[in-house]
Amino acid sequence: MNLAGTAWVLGDNVSTDEIVPGRYLGVDDPAELARQAFEGAAPGLVDRIAQGDILVGGANFGTGSSREQAPRAIRAAGFGAIVAASFARIFFRNCVNVGLPVFWSPEAAADVAEGDRVEINPEAGQIVNVTQGAVHRAAPLPPFVREIVASGGLSAYASQRLGGSLVPAGEVPSGEGGRAS
Amino acid sequence: MNDERPGCMSALAATFAEKVIAEHAGRQRVEPGEIVGARVDLVVCDELSFPDVITEFEQLGAERVFDGGRVLVVADHETPAPSIEAANRMAETRRFCASQAITNLLDAGTAGIMHVVIPERGLAAPGELICGYDSHMLTAGGLGALGVGVGATDTAVALAFGEIWLRVPESVQVRLRGVPSRWAAPKDVALWVCSTLGQDACLYRSLEWTGPYVERLELEGRFTLANMSIEVGAKTAAVEPDRAVEAYARARARRNFEPLWSDEGAEFAHVHELDVEGLGPLVALPHSPERSVPVAEAAGARLDQVFIGTCTNGRLGDLRAAAEVLHGRQVHPATRLLVFPGSPDVYRAALAEGLIETLAEAGALVGPAGCGPCAGIHLGLLADGEVGLATSSRNFPGRMGGGLSELYLSGPAVAAASAVAGCIASPDDVVVGSSVGVA
């Protein structure tokens, strides 16, 4: 399944405080969370995007608080994926766990400009900047993390393993070289 | 000053993180980059987030938590309840904990900031692995425990399985030598390290704090360094327990434990050699801890509010440092000073020492043990356009209030001095009685 949409570009070190400020942490409704998303970092952003658009960040995207509301709000706002030069660890892990596709690519993050048309082939780890005619690679995810993504998130993955081990010994190959939390 | 060099390698030597994770994964040895399932000694959550964890736990199809005695739920983020919604959340949390035999539910009166109460109550010990729904879980590294912050779904899965998935991190060491100046506390050292290394320097890594400066620190200072490690991106952080730390843990631990530490010759991705000799107090400018500068460079910036507390600086020594500066002085009339002790134990000890009296007489509002306004939830948020200073760990845009508020960070002595001056000031300016201040 390919992901495709218009790119919306943010800078380095975008914190989860800016994605979902603390005063909204008690909000349960994803649509309501989405309305407040990026209130500080990019006011009005969520009103302008179309379903499936691609969020592009710089270095250390999602730094700070562990709030899982951050990736949930980004997804509920309509973004189909995030591409960043690098991700803060807990945010990256939360994205994987809630089933929001994330791609670690310094080259793509540097190249993509706001408004560019971007297509992503997750299986191939390929990020295509259609507007500028450039193709970038995303760092491959470790096999175990790919399994979580393929299941649709950690909850779906783990529900199949209740009563057993979360990570069965010997079944999971090393994630060497990949990006994970 | 900052020599980076790869550590030397040995085939058998392992780092702290590798040893703790191997031990909890039932393995002889693990390698950086590998993903393993690791048993957790404690799963932690606050009361604001716990209803989301309950939802995930139920969606997972789980029925019982793995071990009610190894779960800690702390009412530190929004207690006492600021709204009916918050009260309802806490009521749901109480019901779930009762039905799951979760014995460590710390409610109003017994609750303090999770990272302060975990060691106080012996809920973590050297060599243990704990996880929880909070980015500052790595604070437990001050005790020589491996703490990792995760999200709601991970926490729910950990409650169900008693296990989390972890990528074994590469390790880095920050070796500190030298003696800082009189008013520079571990927070100042941590801010300086943030500004020296940068906000993403230790992304995904286990950060070991070592060297003569660290070895001399008492437990509280070790917690401050471990706590601030998240602000350079670390996955986890640790200080090697000395005899005093081990004795502290032995006196409180609920389980047997074995301290673990990196072997001689273990492999490090980087070793940062830093000299803190003569380092003076610092403040972090808005909006990042990595924008830390000597106090003099920001002196005179007007402050609407000063907040002393948090998992970074809400311990007894921090209140002592604040009270030392505030003793016999008054908070500037144009500035509000809020103090939230880190735990009921800290509060009681501060009362017994007369620190609370000193703070109250100086004009501080002393609030309940807990997180206070740190995460921008309640108890003293900043209005748009207001400027605050806090002893917390981070000051990202809108962190503690309106999106147009500004926040500086410092240690407790600078915070207290600034509350007296009504603007950013060094403790020396206030204690010696120089002319710095808002007229």
pLDDT lower than 50: segments of chain B: 1-8, 434-439
Whether residue A173 has pLDDT greater than 80: no
**B26 in contact with A at a CB cutoff of 8 Å?**
yes
Cα A70 to Cα B9: distance, rounded to the nearest angstrom = 39
Give me the pLDDT at residue B11, please: 65
Query: Could you tell me where the beta strands, DSSP code E, fall in B224-366?
Result: 236-239, 270-275, 282-284, 292-294, 305-309, 336-340, 365-366
Query: Could you tell me where the beta strands, DSSP code E, fall in B257-413?
Result: 270-275, 282-284, 292-294, 305-309, 336-340, 365-366, 387-390, 406-409
Measured between beta carbons, the chain A residues lying within 8 angstroms of B22 are none
Cα B294 to Cα B298: distance, rounded to the nearest angstrom = 7
Instruction: Report the residue from B154, B165, B288 with minimal CB separation from A144.
Output: B165
H-type helices in B121-242, by residue range? Answer: 152-161, 186-197, 212-215, 219-228
**B92 in contact with A at a CB cutoff of 8 Å?**
no
A66, B134: Cβ pair inside 8 Å? Answer: yes
Give me the pLDDT at residue A28, please: 87
Give me the pLDDT at residue B216, please: 98
Six token digits for residue B40: 């957790």
A154, B153: Cβ pair inside 8 Å? Answer: yes
Interfacial B residues in 274-303 facing A (CB < 8 Å): 288
Name residue, tokens 């995930």: B56
Beta-sheet pairing, A3-9 with A117-121:
antiparallel
Binned at pLDDT 50, 70 and 90, residue A40 comes out as confident
Cα A80 to Cα A52: distance, rounded to the nearest angstrom = 4
**What is the layout of strands, in order, in the sheet containing B336-340?**
B292-294, B282-284, B406-409, B387-390, B305-309, B336-340, B365-366
A20 to chain B nearest CA, in Å? 10
Cα B107 to Cα B403: distance, rounded to the nearest angstrom = 31
DSSP code at position B62? -
Q: Tell the CATH topology of A3-139.
A: Aconitase; domain 4 (3.20.19)
The domain at B14-274 falls in which architecture? 2-Layer Sandwich (3.30)
A110 burial (CB, 10 Å; 0-12 / 13-18 / 19+) is exposed
Residue B269 has a CB neighbour count (10 Å cut-off) of 18
Interfacial A residues in 152-181 facing B (CB < 8 Å): 153-155, 158-159, 161-162, 165-169, 172, 174-178, 180-181
B23 to chain A nearest CA, in Å? 14
B378 to chain A nearest CA, in Å? 8
**What is the layout of strands, in order, in the sheet containing A3-9?**
A102-104, A81-84, A54-57, A3-9, A117-121, A126-129, A134-137
Q: What is the pTM of this model?
A: 0.96
Beta-sheet pairing, B206-210 with B71-74:
unpaired
Give me the pLDDT at residue A129, please: 98
Give me the pLDDT at residue B266, please: 98
Give me the pLDDT at residue A177, please: 43
Class of the CATH-defined domain B282-431: alpha beta
Nearest CA in chain B to A70: B151
B170 to chain A nearest CA, in Å? 11
Rounded (5°) CA angle B302-B370-B40: 125
Residue boundaries of the structural domains of chain B: 14-274, 282-431
A25 to chain B nearest CA, in Å? 8
Cα B12 to Cα A82: distance, rounded to the nearest angstrom = 39
Six token digits for residue A50: 């179309």
For B387, the enclosing helix (H) or strand (E) is strand B387-390
What's the ipTM?
0.95
Q: What is the mean pLDDT of residues A70-96?
A: 97
Cα B432 to Cα B40: distance, rounded to the nearest angstrom = 50
Cα B140 to Cα B146: distance, rounded to the nearest angstrom = 6
**A40 in contact with B at a CB cutoff of 8 Å?**
yes
Beta-sheet pairing, A102-104 with A54-57:
unpaired
B182 to chain A nearest CA, in Å? 30
A91-138 per-position pLDDT tens digit: 999 999 999 999 999 999 999 999 999 999 998 999 999 999 999 999
Q: Are residues B394 and B191 in contact, defined by beta-carbon separation less than 8 angstroms?
A: no
Binned at pLDDT 50, 70 and 90, residue A41 comes out as confident
Q: Backbone dihedral region of A153: left (phi > 0), alpha (psi from -120 to 50 degrees) or beta?
A: left
**B49 in contact with A at a CB cutoff of 8 Å?**
yes
Q: Are residues A145 and A96 in contact, defined by beta-carbon separation less than 8 angstroms?
A: yes
C-alpha B267, offset from chain centre? 27
Crossing angle between the packed helical segments A89-98 and B152-161, to the nearest 10 degrees: 70
Measured between beta carbons, the chain B residues lying within 8 angstroms of A60 are 199-200, 203, 233
Nearest CA in chain A to B87: A26
Beta-sheet pairing, B305-309 with B336-340:
parallel
Measured between beta carbons, the chain B residues lying within 8 angstroms of A85 are none
Nearest CA to A8 among A47, A66, A62?
A47
Cα B397 to Cα B379: distance, rounded to the nearest angstrom = 18
Longest Cα pair distance anywhere in chain A, in angstroms? 50
Whether residue A179 has pLDDT greater than 60: no
Which of A61, A89, A148 best tests the B interface by mutation, with the highest count of B CBs <10 A? A89
Cα A45 to Cα A58: distance, rounded to the nearest angstrom = 17
Average pLDDT, chain A: 92
Q: Are residues B403 and B409 in contact, defined by beta-carbon separation less than 8 angstroms?
A: no
